[in-house]
Amino acid sequence: MMDLTDNPMRMVYDALWNMLEGSTLFTTVVPRVANRIKLSDTTFVYDKDVLADADMPQVRIELVKQYPHLQATSDSSFLTQEWQIGVFTGDVRFLTLLDVNWAIYRAMMGWETYLKNTLEWESKTFVELCRPLEIIETLSDAKFSYGNRGWIAVWRGEVRMHFTTSDVTE
């Protein structure tokens, strides 16, 4: 089987988690590793019917959309991804939400520089743009949140990758 560990899409996903988990404040407000839901783990991830207090707050990073721009120019191709960091507090009191949001805000400070200067594919940096889009907060309905009513925040951001078309052509 082909080794895909150098897949730029995986690199971006892993880098976003590295930024969050590299923050002491984030790991303090989301102390349980099991509550940092990584959809890239090798073990099967399932949603529980009901969450216990120890299961919250939960944070997960998800890919929402991708916009490919193949051969945008004679020698360049782009791929823009929209990512979201989802926070579920499991609590109708909003202080936990504010704490987790503040931790994410601080952990993501400098994400553009980190992604642009750190990630390389084919010995070239490939992240061209990182941009936060919005944060949406809402009080969840229990039927949509594992039987627990609580605050949800969704952080949305965009990462645009630039490649030399000859590098991505097989």
Which fold would CATH assign to domain 8-42+51-168?
A: STM4215-like (3.30.2000)
Q: In what order do the strands lie in the sheet with 76-88?
A: 36-37, 58-69, 76-88, 151-164, 127-139
pTM of the model: 0.89
Which tokens sit at 100? 């987790």
SS3 at position 128: strand
Q: How confident is the model at residue 48 (pLDDT cuts 50, 70, 90)?
A: low
pLDDT the model gives residue 31: 95
Q: What is the pLDDT of residues 57-94, one digit of tens each?
A: 999 999 999 999 988 888 899 999 999 999 998 888 88
Which residue carries 């971006």 as its tokens? 12
Locate all alpha helices (DSSP H) within 1-148, ordered by sequence: 8-21, 24-29, 95-107, 111-118
- Cβ 15 vs Cβ 8: under 8 Å: no
